[in-house]
Amino acid sequence: MSAGDVRVFPTLEDASRGLAEEVASALRRAVEQRGRMAIALSGGSTPRRLYQILAREHSGLPWPRTHVFWGDERWVPRDSADSNYRMARETLLDAVPIPPENVHAVPTHMDRPEDAAASYEGELAGLFGDGPPRFDVMLLGMGEDGHTASLFPHSPALAARDRWVVAAEARAEPVQRITMTLPVTNNARAVHLLVAGATKREPLRCVLVSPEDPERCPAALVHPSDGSLTWWLDEEAAVGLEEATTG
């Protein structure tokens, strides 16, 4: 199975700029063809610059026709410094004209993560109908253990086939997470993984060079069945991947 298109850039800034152009094109294309765009954002720290570039250099896009979801979220209040929602709001959403009703945050105010996961599946069904949601763009990152979204190595969430969102547990704080599942990532029209830094070299080798046990590095399990898969790497992360990169 193809590892997808692997693109290497001198710096994270360069990779973020390239990916911002791609997301902007996808946004225009989706609105032209289907009247709206649905994107799932990734969390963590790597995409901050990508979101800032989208906000500052692509503000003329049809943002009012865009729906934003999160591929995963930490089980924290929306104003927590650990919140993926808060990071996206600060870097992108407060700066572009997306209608509030189109910003679909994970309901981390609910009593139980399992209830929030079920509620978020309902939110997805509201836009996509029944069956696995099909995002125009799914942005993902990858952790030092090869996880993506909150799909952690050898975790129960990897086996989900008829759930689109589940509760999950991380090995680092915040432990409790909510995550979209592989049926969702692998149903997207386009999946983009933005990965940078020397600490991601080993998991990238696990995913791109020697995925003997893909559950050891779950990003290796992301393969859209009818969509594109593109890796956006900086040179720091791509060291040792010569045989897997397109240069």
- Of 180, 190, 112, whose CA–CA distance to 147 is shortest? 180
Question: How far is Cα 52 from Cα 95, in angstroms, rounded to an integer?
Answer: 9
Choose one: 22-30, 36-44, 96-104, 235-243; the region binding ligand 6PG (CB under 6 A).
36-44
108 binds ligand 6PG (CB under 6 A): no
- Tell whether residue 45 is a contact of ligand 6PG (CB under 6 A): yes
Single out the residue of 224, 234, 228, 222 nearest to residue 195, CA to CA: 234
Shortest Cβ distance from residue 14 to ligand 6PG (Å)? 17
42 interacts with ligand 6PG by CB under 6 A? yes
Site for ligand 6PG in 53-72 (CB under 6 A): 72
* Phi then psi dihedrals of residue 113, to 5 deg: -55, -35
User: Is residue 44 part of the contact set for ligand 6PG (CB under 6 A)?
Assistant: yes
Quick check: 148 and 56 in contact, CB under 8 A? no
Cβ atoms within 10 Å of 58's Cβ, excluding its own: 18
31 Cβ contact list (under 8 Å, min separation 6)? 37, 62, 65, 66
The region of 21-29, 30-38, 39-47, 183-191 touching ligand 6PG under the rule CB under 6 A is 39-47
Site string for ligand 6PG, 124-143 (x = CB under 6 A): -----------------xxx
Q: Which is nearer to ligand 6PG, 147 or 192 (CB)?
A: 147
List CB contacts of 106: < 8 A, sequence separation 6 or more: 70, 73, 85, 116, 120, 178
Q: How far is the CB of 219 from ligand 6PG (least distance, A)?
A: 9
**With contact defined as beta carbons under 8 Å apart, do 176 and 78 qualify?**
no
CB of 97 to ligand 6PG, least distance (A): 25
Nearer to ligand 6PG, 16 or 187 (CB): 16
Q: Please, which of residues 142-171 interact with ligand 6PG by CB under 6 A?
A: 142-143, 147-149
Burial (CB count within 10 angstroms: exposed 0-12, middle 13-18, buried 19+), residue 94: exposed
What are the residues binding ligand 6PG (CB under 6 A)? 42-46, 72, 74, 84, 141-143, 147-149
